[in-house]
Structure 1
Amino acid sequence: MSAPFASVLVIANPASGTYRPETTEAVRRRFADAGLTVTLAVTEQPGQARKLAAETPAPGGPDLVVALGGDGTAHDVAAGLLAGSTEGGGVAAGQIAADGSVFTPTADEHSARRPLSGPARPPALLTLPTGTGNSFHREIWADRPWSEALELALTAPQFRTIDLARVAENGEPALLGASTGVVAQSLITARAVAGAGRERYERAVAESLRTFTPYPGRVLVDGEPVQEGPTVFANVGGGRYRGGRFKLLPHSVLDDGLLDVCVVGAALPLNELPALSRDGGHVGRDGVVYARGRNIVLERTDGRPLVFEYDGDVLETPRERFTLDVLPGALRVVAP
């Protein structure tokens, strides 16, 4: 089976954790050798990947967008594709059209929108990992090397239409998901941790756990409280993995139209958490709540700001409450 695309935009982020210029050139050359028209964009500033991806649904745009970077790059490109698909005259999956209907793609459509007018469906996304955690690549490609994922995309491509989450407070999409507590705090800690790759996140988690104090929290799923009390973290997704190694949402499915949430309370000893969460072993333990729904609310109940992140971006605006809604079938990706 040959690739069902003729043109490709490769968006490479040289600031990603394990980036190498020779990898970018090898990717560009492989697409060119396959007879595809290739455009390479190496980003130079934050937000550039998102802007480039948002422009792709225009007439004459690429059939495939490749995110060569880490989870931050994958987030930016996915957010740009979502923005471009709605601005181009179509309706994103899970969103309400002018006639009041809600678009949910069928298995045959493999599309993140149904055009009302204007250009055809937006391009698919292929992630190739050169980041630190590469959680989204692991989610889709089970940690296949970038070269193997690229070959499969060219020779035996499959497509999957997946859900995203939306942070209600700022309208931003989340590809992997969002979290509070020690998971979010570890991202702040990681800024001062040396090294690259997943070991950096693991060291940041270990360091954060040494001084972390559970916060008074509450979690609501579709309006119903599922947990209230001392909270170590609440993780919403999206993807099963965070930091590339921690399987925080072991039962999550990317295309079921729901968001999973796992809340870890103070009954689970903090020193056991890293080992248990490697394979999802924390789920089912005392003090751990696991639920699914279309709307998830995360709160801190003592009036202090909640440390909150989505897709690795710690939100600096102080709030006590954050809400996430599901966007069913919002993104079309190349999968094995």
Structure 2
Amino acid sequence: MTSEITLFVNPAAGRGRGARAAKPAARELRGAGFLVRTVVGEDARDAARRAHEAVALGTGALIAVGGDGMVSLALQAVAGTTTPLGVVAVGTGNDFARSLGLPVRDPARAGRLAATALKAAPAPALDLGRAGERWFGTILATGFDSLVAERGARTRLPAGRFRYDLATLAELAALRPLPYRMRLDGGPALETEAVLVAVGNGPMYGGGMRMCPGARMDDGLLDVTVVAACDRRTLLRVFPRVYRGTHADHPAVTVHRARSVALRAPGITGYADGEPVGPLPLTARCVPGAVRVLGARAPLPPGAPA
């Protein structure tokens, strides 16, 4: 493995934490004897191009500095290659890092962990989801949760988490069941009315919400969480339990496991790792061993603190 590694930086992550976090992470990596090259894209398209170039040129590791959006861009570059992914999680949600027990908002510790992992045995090979042409590490959201993401993306103010809190309230006011058609592993079509269907390679999204609490990134399966048609009062009772991962035993919630899932629902866009993938119908599949993540450990069990 080459001793040159690439820090892939989003300077705007966490209201500027990305730019600040790159320095202590780089310092730890250089102190461990690695040559560190920093890549900063002018925009998402340019950042993605630069990440692919670094992997193609044989970088020893691609280390994403930022939030889940930066991790998502990095995954598109390293998935299916032998280049390991490191994560210096300093964004708002950091669900990918939380799911794998990686440091959150501690860039020096994240840098040390990555350096140690690079000098040890090869990083563990973990599963990724793939929806259309997009790789994802955590959850493909469709329905209520993707409508919240879509509304939040359209809204300029307020900034940060409050934007999505307001979007959630607005979507609750407009709550309606959606007619879904679902196929698991190419089997017979299952038709149901649901508020949302979440397809999890990992357990978390939305800043620690364990929508797919049993999902593991090393079992070759996707967890499919279905919240059946329900009224606002029921949904408001179910959602606080999502943070502990205890909602799965609610009568309105059903969980399936499959290697692939095909989803169809009118007027719904799928969001994977918080990024838009495209309108349904979409097919998501699990790709075993598609990425190596430096310092990763098993996903946290339901109820454990994130």
Q: TM-score, normalised by structure 2?
A: 0.85
Match of 1:47, SS state, is: helix
1:180 to 132, 142, 165: 142
Name the residue aligned to 1:16: 13
Name the residue aligned to 2:245: 280
Asked whether the 8 Å contact 2:26–2:111 carries over to 1, the reply is no
1:154 and 2:118 aligned: no
Distance 1:228-1:286 versus aligned 2 partners, 3 A rule:
farther
1:73 to 67, 70, 77: 70
Deviations 1:81-101 (A, max 9, x none): 12xxxxxxxxx4xxxxxxxxx
Match of 2:21, SS state, is: helix
1:289 and 2:244 aligned: no
Asked whether the 8 Å contact 1:296–1:325 carries over to 2, the reply is yes
1:205 to 168, 173, 180: 168
Give the alignment's Cα RMSD to 1 decimal: 2.3
Name the residue aligned to 1:34: 32
1:220 and 2:162 aligned: no
Name the residue aligned to 2:222: 259
1:328 to 288, 295, 300: 288
Moved more, 248-257 or 14-23: 14-23
Q: Percent identity?
A: 29
Shift of the alpha carbon at 1:52? Answer: 2.3
2:200 to 220, 237, 247: 237
Q: CA–CA distance in 1 between the matches of 2:201 and 2:273?
A: 10
> Which runs of no fewer than 5 residues in structure 2 stay unpaired?
297-306
Match of 1:296, SS state, is: strand
2:45 to 44, 47, 60: 47
Distance 1:324-1:247 versus aligned 2 partners, 3 A rule:
same
Asked whether the 8 Å contact 1:14–1:43 carries over to 2, the reply is no
Q: CA–CA distance in 2 between the matches of 1:206 and 1:254?
A: 32
> One-letter code of the match for 1:210?
A
Name the residue aligned to 2:302: none
> Which runs of no fewer than 5 residues in structure 1 stay unpaired?
83-91, 93-111, 113-121
Shift of the alpha carbon at 1:314? Answer: 2.4
> Paired residues, what number?
287
Deviations 1:173-231 (A, max 9, x none): 122231111110111232325233x5654554344323221211122211335853221
More helix by share: 2
